[in-house]
Amino acid sequence: MSQMPDSQHSTAQKIYDWYTKKSRPYRPHLGASVIGHSCDRYLWLTFRWAKQTDFPGRILRLFETGNLEEIRIAKELKGIGVVLHTHDEKGSQIRCFDKSGHFGGSVDGVAKGFPEALKTWAVLEAKTHNSKSFKQLEKKGVLESKPRHYAQMQVYMGLMDLTRAMYFAVNKDTDDIYTEWVKFDATAFSRLSQRAEKIISATEPPLRVSESADWWECRFCDFKTLCHGEEVAEANCRTCCHSTPVAEGQWQCGKFDTDINAPTQEIGCQEHMYIPPLIPYAEPVDASDDWVEYAHKETKKTFKNGGANFRSTELQKMPPDSLGSGTVAEIKDAFPGAEVTRIVSTAGGDIRKIKKAPKRKKRVVSQDAIIDDEIPF
């Protein structure tokens, strides 16, 4: 007799696990869906791929529910006579970008035939809400209750030279529908575009929304441990001081004088050197073309990132108090090319063991992957 599963919820958990195992590439551009966020540093860290948020399977499934709702909304609109386009002539979701190619997004649709103005082409923006959020939307409207959604529509209208947007909201608890006809605001579009340009061109993190980690927006932020703590950013081309965003949405590596595509950017290389503020517990004190020397803000111990010194992937794994340890330096000198992958045990800050790094697996990433604008990654 075959053994019965330990839990009657095993199937549900398997499904959640299936969602978490799916590859989720970074968004290659600064999304219109996030430009209305209150914190400039959040936007910069997002654009620079400082950290990939790990969502549980249930939340990822919830995101997909929003995607499926868009299909239903499209069917309903066509059913009442609205002319709706959701994909371009190549079959890809309609996209729009600014002149830099780094700012924009994917629209849910472009349509005309709405009862509000039958002959006017408009951006379609579809969102799902819980009952609490939906009630606020009904009471206050999209500008006041969902300013990020409002900003997103203003960007799409501005980039596509349209003057109207249809905000289509669904209460996912009751299936009630709320629609709002939104007018283009040229002043808002200009302000948002200038903000995006500032974020894209910034070589270091801009000011954060608050200097207090207890501020309500910081307390629940995905980047709290990077911004207010001692966590080091992920090591990829976007967090490297050699990389620069250039024209047509491309990135260039100054170290090797070459363009780098999105899949390559995710993988990075062994010559990676952090943009200094992304090592939050230390300050740069010296530098060359191949390394940057840092001093720990509290202990004042020094270490180098780059060259034959600590690789960025090592700094990700090492606790700050282990840097500057004589034992670490001795081991790395004795075993050239050895890489710290984890701290097995420590005593008084001395490293007892360093394991050789396994080969890094390349992630298969599609540059054409479309990430729903409601998903915060």
Q: How far apart are CA 255 and CA 277, in angstroms?
A: 19
Please state, for a pLDDT cut of 90, what percent of the chain lies above it: 76
Domains in the chain, please, with CATH? 26-201 (3.90.320.10), 230-351 (no CATH)
- Digit-coded pLDDT (tens) for 246-278: 999 999 999 999 999 999 999 999 999 999 999
**203 vs 322 pLDDT, higher one:** 203
DSSP per residue, 230-253? -PPPP-SGGGBTTEEE-GGG-EEE
Helices within the chain (DSSP H only): 10-21, 40-47, 57-79, 131-145, 147-160, 186-201, 216-219, 224-227, 262-267, 312-317, 326-334
**94 vs 325 pLDDT, higher one:** 94
Q: Are strands 292-296 and 302-305 parallel, antiparallel or unpaired?
A: antiparallel
* pLDDT exceeds 60 at position 138: yes
> What is the model's pLDDT at position 377?
28
- Of 42-46, 75-79, 205-209, 337-341, where does mean pLDDT reach its minimum? 337-341
Q: How far apart are CA 230 and CA 221, in angstroms?
A: 15
Please state, for a pLDDT cut of 70, what percent of the chain lies above it: 85
- Please state the rounded mean pLDDT for residues 278-292: 95
- Digit-coded pLDDT (tens) for 206-230: 999 999 999 999 999 999 999 999 9
* pLDDT exceeds 90 at position 328: no
Query: pTM here?
Result: 0.86
| 299 within 8 A of 321, measured Cβ to Cβ | yes
**45 vs 372 pLDDT, higher one:** 45
> What is the model's pLDDT at position 8?
62
User: What are 256's two structure tokens?
Assistant: 């090797």
* pLDDT exceeds 60 at position 368: no
Q: Over the chain, what is the mean pLDDT?
A: 88
Q: How far apart are CA 153 and CA 122, in angstroms?
A: 10
* pLDDT exceeds 70 at position 364: no
* pLDDT exceeds 90 at position 155: yes
Local structure of 93: helix, strand or coil: strand
Q: Would you give the distance in Å from CA 99 to the centre of its chain?
A: 21
Local structure of 51: helix, strand or coil: coil
- Please state the rounded mean pLDDT for residues 157-186: 98
* pLDDT exceeds 50 at position 77: yes
- Please state the rounded mean pLDDT for residues 16-33: 91
Q: How far apart are CA 222 and CA 162, in angstroms?
A: 34
Q: How far apart are CA 35 and CA 193, in angstroms?
A: 9
Q: How far apart are CA 299 and CA 160, in angstroms?
A: 53
- Of 62-66, 86-90, 95-99, 356-360, where does mean pLDDT reach its minimum? 356-360
* pLDDT exceeds 50 at position 366: no
> What is the model's pLDDT at position 240?
98
* pLDDT exceeds 80 at position 12: yes
